Amino acid sequence: MKKGRERRLQSGDAFWERQRCAPLYQALIQHAERRPHPFHVPGHKMGRSFDQEAKQQYLPLLPLDLTEISGLDDLHQPEGVIAEAQALAAEAYGAEETRFLVGGTTAGNIALILAVCRPGEKIVIQRNCHKSVYHGIILARAKPIYVVPAVDPATGVAAGLRREDVERTLQEHPDAKAVFLTNPTYYGMGIDLRRMAAVVHRFGIPLLVDEAHGSHFGFHPELPDSAMGSGADASVQSTHKMGTAMTMCSMLHLRGERINRSRLYQALGMIQSSSPSYPLLASLDLARRHMLIEGAKELDRVLPLLKRLRERLASLAWLALPQLTENGVYTTLDPLKLMLDLRTEALTGYQLQQILEQYAIFPELTSSQHVLLAASTGTSPEDVERVWQVLESIDLPPSSGGYRIRQTGGVLSSWFLREQVMAMHEALDADRFPIPLEESEGRIAGEMVIPYPPGIPLLVPGERIDQQALQWLLALKRQKIRFHGVHDPSLTTIQIVT
């Protein structure tokens, strides 16, 4: 199968003529231009009744905030302009079929798991996957078979899965119904998906990919190829993250016959709103057109800026960025992601975030040793120059104890190896009560503990809280990390199973 970008380069004039259209957006504009009399929801009636203070800001969008009326199709039974927009997206992204999502990649991940798993069935998943994958498993009452990710020794962060680990797991669990992995990671690290797909398909099951941070993949020669271009059966992309759609807009792409699409569409209909936002849907239509028609030129401008920034940052001894190496644990690296890896004891990631925000630079993600900057086609030369000016101006004291080269590997990797005492859904259905976090060692977790961002659970319901897990949770609590999934956001207490 040809890569997506090669396929598009070889496309004729008819392809580009089709892709310059935005049928859903254009239908909304045409309807608004009729100056209709709206006796339907929503109640603001195309902006005629709206908060006066905010009306000036919202008014350009409100005439497009419509519903399933004649000529505007229905997301859950697309036969008109939504069907046309999704078909154009499938063509652009190299899929056989594409579905628009207004519940984010979360909705797509959950729906895929509900489509491939029935209660009690196994699914192989990457242990550092997003919380939505765990939520899908809980709803499906499926049995997760974890594969621990490789850890990058240079930065200490979990990267992707090894093919040999997945193959061994499938040999041990031949009744698994699918493999679900994340590619790329939040930090932009990726694996060779083409080879991974070949391994998974030898067992006759689908490869499902959470590609939330890869909606731009395959649209420029300097970017990795997409999951669809690499043989995956399904991928879910957050078109709002690295693309230009509005927040919570994603796409689900499909290829092949290994996924029961009827079950998938049924699941999407159950977990997504029956009244989806038309401005959000139209932004997906426009984001697809923008990436094809304008995105490549914008990437031609942005990528050299980021390359130059990396070269300049290499002169700062207290800072490092991930580098592709021949024997590394990841084989692709998104050039739009800048993971600042701190190599000094004089500054934490949280302190660096505070410095950056003093100069109106707002990072995507921060941890004790890392700060992640996410660029895009919308990143300007002024943005990049400002980052360099601020980082270059930081003067670390020579008495800081020197620069550190982090020794990692077993510690972070073993974090993912908790004893699963009972199924997640059973733990959530059981009687639970809170106890002080300090007293929780040896108890069974009754809730999901999720540092956010990035939204990867460090502890899931039904796992035993061992000494290492407790120490990690206490350390995160001291750092005042935000948590999702817990009843006590301060993590002073934690829910356990009785």
SS3 track for 355-375? HHHHCCCCCCEECCCEEEEEC
pLDDT over 70, % of the chain: 94
Q: How far apart are CA 137 and CA 129, in angstroms?
A: 12
Written as one letter, the residue type at 268 is L
Q: Give the burial string for 284-322 (b: 16+ CB within 10 Å, else e).
A: bbbbbbbbbeebbebbeebbebbeebeeebeebebbbbb
pLDDT, tens digit, 9 for 90 and up, residues 71-125: 999 999 999 999 999 999 999 999 999 999 999 999 999 999 999 999 999 999 9
Q: Tell me what the mean pLDDT of segment 228-240 comes to.
A: 98
Q: Tell me what the mean pLDDT of segment 26-50 comes to.
A: 97
Contact 405, 343 (CB under 8 A): yes
Please count the other Cβ atoms lying within 10 Å of the Cβ belonging to residue 351: 15
Q: How far apart are CA 197 and CA 235, in angstroms?
A: 12
Lowest mean pLDDT among 70-84, 199-213, 240-254, 415-429: 415-429
Is residue 164's pLDDT more than 60? yes
pLDDT, tens digit, 9 for 90 and up, residues 448-471: 998 877 778 889 999 999 998 999
Q: Tell me what the mean pLDDT of segment 220-233 comes to.
A: 98
Written as one letter, the residue type at 378 is G
Reported confidence tier of residue 375, pLDDT bands at 50, 70, 90: very high
Contact 491, 437 (CB under 8 A): yes
Distances 268 to 107, 163, 275 between C-alpha atoms, Å: 7, 30, 13
Lowest mean pLDDT among 23-27, 83-87, 136-140, 152-156: 152-156
Reported confidence tier of residue 415, pLDDT bands at 50, 70, 90: low
Mean pLDDT of the chain: 93
| Of 176 and 455, the one with more pLDDT | 176
Lowest mean pLDDT among 241-245, 293-297, 475-479: 475-479
pLDDT of residue 453: 72
pLDDT, tens digit, 9 for 90 and up, residues 330-366: 999 999 999 999 999 899 999 999 999 999 999 999 9
Strand, coil or helix: what is 87? helix
Long-range contacts from 31-38, C-beta under 8 angstroms, 24+ separation = 31/66, 31/69, 31/71, 31/72, 32/63, 32/64, 38/66
Reported confidence tier of residue 399, pLDDT bands at 50, 70, 90: very low
Phi, psi of 309 (to 5 degrees): -65, -40
Q: How far apart are CA 41 and CA 36, in angstroms?
A: 13
Reported confidence tier of residue 8, pLDDT bands at 50, 70, 90: low
Q: How far apart are CA 192 and CA 456, in angstroms?
A: 22
Give the chain's domains with CATH numbers: 301-400 (3.90.1150.10), 418-497 (3.90.100.10)
Please count the other Cβ atoms lying within 10 Å of the Cβ belonging to residue 65: 19
pLDDT of residue 319: 95
pLDDT of residue 363: 98
pLDDT of residue 413: 45
pLDDT of residue 475: 87
